[in-house]
Chain A
Amino acid sequence: MSERPELSRARHGRVPVGPQALARVGLLAAVLSLVLGWQAFAAFTQPLASTAPRFAVSPPAATPPANALVASAWKEVGPPRDIPMPPGVPAAHASSLLALPAGQVGAASSDLLAAWFAGSRESGADVQIWMARFDGAAALGAGAWQAPVAVLNRHALAQQLGFGVRRLGNPVLWRDADGRLQLFVVATGLGGWAASRVLQVQLEPAAAAGPGWTVTHARVLPLSPLWNLSTLVRTQAAPLADGGAWLPTYFELWRKYPSALRVGPLGEFVAPVRLSHQGGGLQPAVVPLSAREGLALMRDFSAGAVRVAHTGDGGQSWEDRPPLAVLNPNASVAALRLTDGSLAMVANPQRTGRQRLDLLRSADGVTWTLVATLEDASPGAEFSYPALALSADGRRLHVSYTFERKRIRHRVFDWVAAR
Chain B
Amino acid sequence: MSLLYAWATAPAWADGLPEPAALALWLRVGWGVVLGALVFHALQRLHRPWTIGQRTASWPALAGAAVALNTLVAPGAWSAAHWLGLAFQAPSGVLVALCAASVQAVWSAARPTTLPLPLAASLAVAGAALYASHLAWLPLDLYALGFAPAPALGLSGAAAVLSLGLAWRGHRAAAWSLALALGLHAALRLPTGNAWDALLDPWLWAWAVATCLGRAGGSSQSAAQSAAKRQPT
Contact = CB atoms under 8 A, between A and B. Distances in A.
A221 B89 CA distance: 11
Given A25-B164, A255-B136, A269-B16, A10 B147 contact: no
Nearest to A190: B87
A161 B3 CA distance: 21
B179 A35 contact: yes
B65 interface: no
A49 B193 CA distance: 14
Nearest to A6: B170
Interface in B1-47: 1-3, 12-17, 20, 23-25, 27-28
A163 B16 contact: no
Nearest to A255: B136
Contacts of B143: 224-225, 272
B110 A4 contact: yes
A222 B109 contact: no
B100 interface: no
Interface in B105-143: 108-111, 113, 116, 130-131, 134-137, 139, 141, 143
Contacts of B194: 222, 225
Interface stretch (B56-64, B183-191, B215-223, B225-233): B183-191
A122 B89 CA distance: 24
Contacts of A270: 15
B134 A7 contact: no
B179 A224 contact: no
B107 to A, nearest CB: 11
A292 interface: no
Contact of B13 (A40, A251, A267): A267
A43 B25 CA distance: 23
A228 B89 contact: yes
B102 interface: no
A224 B142 CA distance: 11
A6 B174 CA distance: 13
A11 interface: yes
A3 interface: yes
A227 B202 contact: yes
A16 B170 contact: yes
B85 A273 contact: no
A63 interface: no
A225 B134 contact: yes
Contacts of A197: 89
B17 A269 contact: yes
B225 to A, nearest CB: 19
Contact of B172 (A24, A46, A160, A274): A24
Interface string A306-320: 000000000000000
Interface string A11-46: 101111000010011001101100110111011101
B12 A217 contact: yes
B189 to A, nearest CB: 8
A189 B89 CA distance: 9
A3 B153 CA distance: 37
A36 B198 CA distance: 13
A6 B160 CA distance: 21
A166 B89 contact: no
Contacts of B12: 202, 216-217, 219, 267
Contact of A162 (B23, B176, B183): B23
Interface in A238-264: 251, 253-255, 257, 264
Contacts of B1: 42
Given A11-B113, A39-B185, A164-B77, A46 B17 contact: no
A266 B14 contact: yes
A17 to B, nearest CB: 10
A158 interface: yes
A66 interface: no
B186 A42 contact: yes
A15 B170 CA distance: 7
Q: Which 3 A-B pairs have the closest CB atoms?
A: A163-B85, A162-B24, A10-B170
21 contacts: A10-B170, A10-B171, A14-B170, A24-B167, A25-B168, A28-B163, A31-B183, A35-B186, A36-B157, A42-B1, A161-B24, A162-B81, A190-B86, A190-B87, A217-B13, A220-B23, A221-B17, A225-B202, A257-B136, A264-B15, A271-B144
Interface of A: 1, 3-4, 6-7, 9-11, 13-16, 21, 24-25, 28-29, 31-32, 35-36, 38-40, 42-44, 46, 48-50, 158-166, 189-190, 197, 200, 202, 216-222, 224-228, 251, 253-255, 257, 264, 266-274, 277, 279
Given A15-B170, A28-B163, A190-B86, 11 more contacts: A1-B108, A32-B163, A35-B160, A43-B16, A44-B149, A161-B85, A162-B23, A163-B84, A164-B77, A216-B12, A227-B201
